[in-house]
Chain A
Amino acid sequence: MRFKYSLQSSLRSLRTHKSRSLLTILGIVIGITSIIMVMSLGQGAQDLILGQVQGMGSKTIIVVPGRQPKGPSDVAQALSDSLKERDFIAISNIANVPTARRVMPIVMGAASAAYGSDTYRLTIFGGGSAMAELFSLTTETGTFFTDEEVRGKQEVAVIGSKVKTELFGDGDAIGERIRIKGRNFRIVGVLTEQGSGSFVNFDEVALMPYTTAQQYVFGIKYFHRLFIEADTEADIARTVADIQVTLRSTHNIDNPDKDDFFVETQADIAERIGTITTALTLFLAAMASISLIVGGIGIMNIMLVSVTERTREIGLRKAIGATYRNILTQFLTEAVVLTSVGGAIGIALGAGLSFIASLILTQVVGSGWHFTFPIQAAVLGFGTAAFVGLIFGIYPARQAAKKSPMEALRYE
């Protein structure tokens, strides 16, 4: 039998039962729509986060204290005080790491800031004067703190735009003092608004010299991170190696397996985030595809009804010369056409809804969000839909093809 004929007759039979066909494929439509949306939004989120990681500068290297976590239960190791002033000095030494252009320690934590009777919970970042460049930050008003202020442990701060609005409203914040941990910090700058889509929400921070933060806010002698900028991208590998050698020497470590720190590059972070978001996207897509199984069972159910309804037709077709394979093909084609139509509708619907969602997200997150329609998601969606039809169509089609022509013709 001609495949073209099979296709035509399937389409005719679907047209005949328009509303039934539509309701039948609803499960498939919903499943494919969810998969497309999850994949499109997942891709968008990944692009956004990676964009920010890349915004950190491709020459950035981060030293994190503690052993690199080996698994989820290894978290405790990440909270370590192994990075100290001597490490900062050693890495800054051009003899140890000649390709490090800039080295900056970071301390961070949460704290409350008060101005008058208003208080606001914010994140404190203590760093060097190079913070602005390393984090690609600019000030709306005022300036960043200087190296002198870092060395002198000056109580100065640069605040995020939201902190400013919350504490000062429309008033001027520069020169005003806010209270953090019982000490007064003079505001020297206000950051340009970043939008909440940032990797770190810089609208809700106070930046200050790390020396000040260490002594007056957190009361610690160590650093949470060391940021190093390599001279060029080509120097990254060499810089990482030099940093490792230097830190092992200051920490008296012979065996690299016993490192109490680890070094990450921007590429490492991007890769890790990529892996996480991909895994998350696939997980969500897998959840969404449960509805495909439900939809497939619906297809199987309605195909069985259709086979019973058309028993006489099957009998006739067999009587006039249709083989087992002919009938099997006809009903399989029908199931696959049914689910493929569902898949196509789902892809269109998923793309449309993702586009609308991306418009809304652009409002919320800022210009960092872009609508992406992963073509592989469409191919996957359509293929899955057709596959569901094939799998769930086999049983009804076999039931149809197995019918004895005589009994089928006698069926009332």
Chain B
Amino acid sequence: MSLRAKRSNPVTNQGDRLLREYTRKDDGKHAYYHSKSKDMNIISEKNLGKTYENEDVSTIALREVSFDIRKGEFVAIMGPSGSGKSTLLQILGLLDNSTAGKYIFDDKDINEYKDDAIAHLRNEKMGFVFQAFNLMPRVSILKNVELPLVYSPIPEKEWEERARKALVDVGLEHRLDHEPSQLSGGEKQRVAIARALVCNPEVIFADEPTGNLDSKSGQIVMEILEDLNKRLGHTVILITHETYTAEHAERIIRLKDGMIESDIKVEERLSAKDNFVK
């Protein structure tokens, strides 16, 4: 099964409908656009290492990890549990610090940023999608999506419009006043994507976004992420342990025991994957 074939699969009809909707609404008026200047690196890691010190026991989670991610790239980071992929994403997403090596984000060394500047960086240039959705309960979908704007310099009068737009992008414009508890898992994850999208970030980090979803919802979520990458130019960094989820990416970085095992374009992996799935 190729990617093309998957997309026309009846199971993913809704995803197709969404894609058509985006295309209709886009028409150059869309607020989000990132130039795919593929030559520029948004992320550059050199010899990155992370060691957890815990009461005389030190655990090495990452060692000598080096790679670059270009603007507009769709990269999947794969590996079995304990391989350090979550640690890597946390370091990339500035949620945690590395203990060795160098991390250049958007042409600037992370060590040059102060705590508040890092918070602003997360707010303005990064969007996060988590496996557990992490939506605010008892708060409307619209307010959930508005949340990152609260911490942004964007004036309050623009909040609602931006949040609506982001919800349109994930196909949930008809459920603005619902609360998360009234949504299905797939819909919750789409709200989370809208929230990641609302500040128009450079990079979207998705940590096992389909991990809690059935295959159909997972497929829709992946197609939305793919669309955000292809059409709107967001760099997407995806963490997954599922090969069929990773296939949506252009490139797969495999981790094992805290080290890069392989870093390969997806096209090259197509045949290998067919065997794996069988």
A residues near B, CB below 8 A?
1-2, 5, 12, 16, 312-313, 315-326, 404-406, 409
**If the complex has contacts A12-B139, A409-B134, are A319 and B96 also in contact, measured as CB distance less than 8 A?**
no
Contacts of B130 in A (CB 8 A): 316, 409
Pairs A–B under 8 Å by Cβ, sample size 13 = A12-B139, A313-B136, A316-B130, A316-B136, A317-B147, A320-B128, A321-B122, A321-B148, A321-B151, A322-B151, A404-B95, A405-B95, A406-B90
In the complex, chain B residues 101-144 whose Cβ is within 8 Å of any chain A Cβ: 115-116, 119-120, 122-124, 127-128, 130, 132, 134, 136, 138-139
Q: Give B87's nearest chain A residue, CB to CB.
A: A406
**If the complex has contacts A2-B156, A405-B95, A409-B134, are A320 and B139 also in contact, measured as CB distance less than 8 A?**
no
Structural contact, B95 and A323, CB atoms closer than 8 A: no
Residue among A12, A312, A321, A404 with the most chain B CB within 10 A? A321
Contacts of B93 in A (CB 8 A): 319
- Sorting the interface of chain B by its residue count into under 10, 10 to 19, 20 to 34 or 35 or more gives 20 to 34
Query: A99 vs B249: C-alpha distance in the bound complex, in angstroms?
Result: 108
B residues near A, CB below 8 A?
90, 93, 95-96, 115-116, 119-120, 122-124, 127-128, 130, 132, 134, 136, 138-139, 147-148, 150-152, 156, 195, 199
- Contacts A12-B138, A321-B199 known; list 15 others, CB within 8 Å: A5-B150, A312-B134, A317-B147, A319-B95, A319-B122, A320-B123, A320-B127, A321-B123, A322-B123, A324-B116, A326-B119, A404-B96, A405-B95, A406-B96, A409-B134
State the total of A-B contacts with C-beta under 8 angstroms. 66
Contacts of A323 in B (CB 8 A): 115-116, 119-120, 151
- Whole-angstrom distance from the CB of A3 to the nearest CB of chain B? 11
The 8 closest A-B pairs by CB, nearest first: A321-B123, A321-B151, A406-B95, A320-B148, A323-B119, A406-B96, A316-B134, A405-B95
Query: A312 vs B96: C-alpha distance in the bound complex, in angstroms?
Result: 16
Structural contact, B120 and A321, CB atoms closer than 8 A: yes
Contacts of A2 in B (CB 8 A): 150, 156
Query: A317 vs B149: C-alpha distance in the bound complex, in angstroms?
Result: 11
Residue among B93, B123, B124, B195 with the most chain A CB within 10 A? B123
- Whole-angstrom distance from the CB of B168 to the nearest CB of chain A? 20
Q: Give A408's nearest chain B residue, CB to CB.
A: B95
- Whole-angstrom distance from the CB of A73 to the nearest CB of chain B? 62
Structural contact, B134 and A322, CB atoms closer than 8 A: no
Contacts of B147 in A (CB 8 A): 316-317, 320
Query: A325 vs B123: C-alpha distance in the bound complex, in angstroms?
Result: 15
Query: A315 vs B90: C-alpha distance in the bound complex, in angstroms?
Result: 12
Residue among A16, A323, A324 with the most chain B CB within 10 A? A323
Query: A339 vs B132: C-alpha distance in the bound complex, in angstroms?
Result: 34
Contacts of B199 in A (CB 8 A): 321
- Whole-angstrom distance from the CB of B197 to the nearest CB of chain A? 11
Structural contact, B119 and A322, CB atoms closer than 8 A: yes
Contacts of B148 in A (CB 8 A): 320-321
Q: Give B125's nearest chain A residue, CB to CB.
A: A321
Residue among B90, B96, B123, B150 with the most chain A CB within 10 A? B150
Contacts of A321 in B (CB 8 A): 119-120, 122-124, 148, 151-152, 199
**If the complex has contacts A12-B139, A404-B96, A409-B130, are A320 and B156 also in contact, measured as CB distance less than 8 A?**
no
Query: A323 vs B151: C-alpha distance in the bound complex, in angstroms?
Result: 8
Contacts of A312 in B (CB 8 A): 132, 134
Query: A319 vs B204: C-alpha distance in the bound complex, in angstroms?
Result: 12
Contacts of A318 in B (CB 8 A): 95, 119, 122
Contacts of A326 in B (CB 8 A): 119, 151
